[in-house]
């Protein structure tokens, strides 16, 4: 199925971040009407002004996706403004960079709340409207860590694994409603994610500056939504890591463990 995005009514969470802004720009360029959600109202208003200047039909809904009342307000506001809902893009996320033994229950719960429970419950709220939508879809931006858990990203990996598992369950469940599920599995991306980590004491060099640009990632995501791809693994590093791990899982673990041991050698 080819999905025409012109006139589609969409919600994007995490819209104030670099990837969220690039996604909103791409969807507006494709003719979609977009509700922008994040906690940063100032950045949302700046983005909305720019998109409206480009002829976009956008709505700003300041939202903390971990708060139930605010999730409901987001869905209700988008439906009231646009007359329905066709696309839900669960993009908001948070990470923590440090080893499990030194982490805390609070960090674990925060990461799970933002990366798993929030998109799941937002999708639940959206489903009655999506089932009445035009070529409706749920788009979940996950991570390569959701297909291969990585050291120093334990909570993040677990949250993204859980979201991908939910995507796979939804895909078969939602088929009877005609609602598609697109899972995005990106690798390292430039854009400031590393500046908002809950902790940052892992020893490896993250090298985020070598990652994909948000613009390139968003272009690929929108293309995947148009083509109704089931899952999009994007980024050379992510593609090769997951491919190598598929065929040589024990060797992959050995190589990663060897690197960790060297980093923490006394």
Which residues are designated catalytic? 156
13, β-bridge pairs:
37
3-state secondary structure of 106: helix
- Do 162 and 120 touch, CB atoms closer than 8 A? no
Burial 248-266 (b: 16+ CB within 10 A, else e): eeeebeeebeeebeeeeee
201 phi and psi, to 5 degrees?
-130, 20
Structure tokens at 70: 């605010």
- Do 19 and 218 touch, CB atoms closer than 8 A? yes
- Do 15 and 24 touch, CB atoms closer than 8 A? yes
Alpha carbon distance 107, 110 (integer Å): 5
Q: Which residues contact 183 (CB under 8 A, 6 or more apart)?
A: 140, 142, 164, 167, 168, 230, 231, 232
Q: Which residues contact 43 (CB under 8 A, 6 or more apart)?
A: 16, 21
Which residue bears the tokens 């990585």?
A: 150
């Amino acid at each position: 199925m080819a999905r025409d995005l012109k006139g589609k009514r969409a919600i994007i969470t995490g819209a104030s971040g670099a990837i969220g802004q690039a996604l909103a720009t791409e969807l507006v360029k494709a003719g979609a009407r977009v509700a922008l959600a994040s906690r940063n109202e100032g950045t949302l208003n700046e983005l909305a002004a720019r998109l409206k200047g480009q002829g976009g039909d956008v709505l700003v809904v300041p939202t903390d996706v971990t708060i139930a009342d605010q999730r409901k307000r987001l869905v209700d506001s988008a439906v009231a403004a646009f007359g329905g809902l066709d696309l839900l893009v669960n993009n908001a996320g948070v990470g923590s960079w440090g080893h499990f033994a030194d982490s805390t229950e609070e960090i674990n719960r925060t990461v799970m709340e933002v990366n798993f429970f929030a998109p799941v419950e937002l999708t639940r709220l959206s489903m009655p409207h999506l089932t009445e939508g035009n070529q409706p879809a749920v788009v979940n931006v996950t991570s390569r860590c959701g297909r291969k858990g990585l050291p120093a990203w334990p909570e993040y990996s677990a949250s993204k694994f859980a979201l991908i598992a939910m995507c796979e369950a939804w895909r078969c469940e939602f088929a009877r409603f005609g609602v598609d599920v697109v899972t995005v599995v990106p690798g390292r991306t430039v854009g400031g994610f590393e500046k908002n980590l809950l902790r940052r004491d892992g020893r490896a060099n993250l090298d985020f500056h070598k990652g994909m640009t948000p613009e390139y990632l968003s272009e690929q995501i929108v293309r995947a939504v148009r083509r109704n791809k089931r899952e999009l693994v994007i980024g050379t590093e992510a593609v090769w890591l997951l491919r190598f791990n598929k065929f040589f899982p024990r060797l992959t673990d050995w190589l990663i463990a060897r690197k960790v041991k060297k980093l923490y050698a006394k």
